[in-house]
Amino acid sequence: MKPLRKTTRARNKVTSTMLASTSGDLDLPLDDVVIVFACSENFVPYLSVAVQSIIDNASPSRRYDIVVLTRNISPTSMITLTRQVTSPHVGIGFLDVDAALGDIELPHHGHFRPETYFRLLAPQLLPNVDKAIYLDSDLIVDDDVAELFDVDVTGYKLAATRDADTIGQIDGYDATVGPYLKDELGMDDPHDYFQAGVLLMNLAELRRTVTPEEFLALSTERMWRWLDQDVLNKVVNGDYVRVHMRWNYLMDWQHLRRTHIIANAPADVRAEYEEAAADPAVIHFAGPDNRPWLYPDADRAELFWHYAMRSPYLDEIRGQLEESRASVKGLAKRVQVMALYKGIMPAFDAICPAGTLRRKAVIKTYMGLGGANL
């Protein structure tokens, strides 16, 4: 792999001295199923629900160690999460990534947060671990995650699911996505683009082939459309083990993702997404809004609340839901969301159907005005 161009900004200069390992701070065996999250203090309540879902579906014959990469989770929250994990088969620990990042600024936009980049540090921060599952914090696990961990990734950097949403955009919903993936990410086939919210990372292979400095240099080189997910896809370029979408079922965001976006994807992608919807092992609440802790009518919200009922943050999550439905700010946001996703977007689809030159021209104009960063 050619060395990646480093950003010229001194504060983002990547050096090997920044990337010291801190895995020795973890009092965990890390000898069976290793699961990595990246999380901020604000997202701890939803991380707690994800952790509870893992506990509830864990096999008594396996050992599960959860490692949370963070910069700002408070000691109080760490204690609360540690006390939540009462199963003798599950452990949890926390790694502060500050030593690895120094003063590097991680570019982000929209609803994305800097923590999304932390997964790129997992190979370095867990130097004695050969394989680990990475999970976003906005999901629940409704099956034994050890089944995913046992997938053979020998000779590959990772295993992942194809991104049905992005493929649907490539094939008609947003004609700017395919050229972006091919020309700017350099992917041989944009249809191989994977969703990085659930990964089985071959940490040993990643350590052998990609340095942390290369990962971070590429991450800070520019504002990528989907941030470090793009970075990973650029590095892997379609050479990964495909796992079934049931291990990363993208919730039917705004009840539009399935009928408006994925509907444009090839038949095999649509079929796999429908199979995943019928029997999801991981439900990923991916999207800028429509999360079940704010919208109880969101796709699979009932399963989120099933696990949330045993979270120590239940009262806080309920409080956020009630505030979103009762406060002036919350009601204003709901009106805005309703107008955009139930009014403007369907009208746009009707006036500029998927695959038309008119639609492509409007989207290109929107992107030129900074739409990707809104």
Domain boundaries, the chain: 10-330
* DSSP-assigned letter for residue 345: H
Q: Which pTM value belongs to this model?
A: 0.88
Specify whether domain 10-330 bears CATH 3.90.550.10.
yes
CB 28 within 8 A of CB 91: yes
Q: What is the pLDDT averaged over residues 221-241? A: 96
pLDDT higher than threshold 70 for residue 335: yes
Percent of the chain with pLDDT over 70: 90
CA terminus-to-terminus distance, the chain = 33
Percent of the chain with pLDDT over 90: 69
From CA 29, how far away is CA 19, in angstroms rounded? 22
DSSP-assigned beta bridge partners for residue 241: 159
| pLDDT at 6 (0 to 100) | 26
pLDDT higher than threshold 70 for residue 96: yes
| pLDDT at 15 (0 to 100) | 36
Residue with the bigger pLDDT between 343 and 251: it is: 251
| pLDDT at 113 (0 to 100) | 73
| pLDDT at 273 (0 to 100) | 98
Alpha-helical regions (H) of the chain: 44-56, 75-84, 98-101, 122-125, 146-149, 164-168, 177-179, 203-209, 212-219, 227-236, 267-278, 301-308, 314-326, 328-339, 345-351, 357-368
| Tens of pLDDT, residues 68-89 | 999 999 999 999 999 999 999 9
Which residues, other chains included, contact 198 with Cβ-Cβ below 8 Å and sequence gap of 6+? Answer: 133, 134, 135, 136, 139, 148, 160, 161, 247, 248, 282, 284
Q: Give the CA distances from residue 162 to residues 165, 198, 246, 324, in Å, rounded to whole numbers and listed in that order.
A: 9, 11, 11, 33
pLDDT higher than threshold 80 for residue 234: yes
* DSSP-assigned letter for residue 7: P
Q: What is the pLDDT averaged over residues 314-339? A: 83
Q: What is the pLDDT averaged over residues 50-60? A: 98
Residue with the bigger pLDDT between 175 and 57: it is: 57
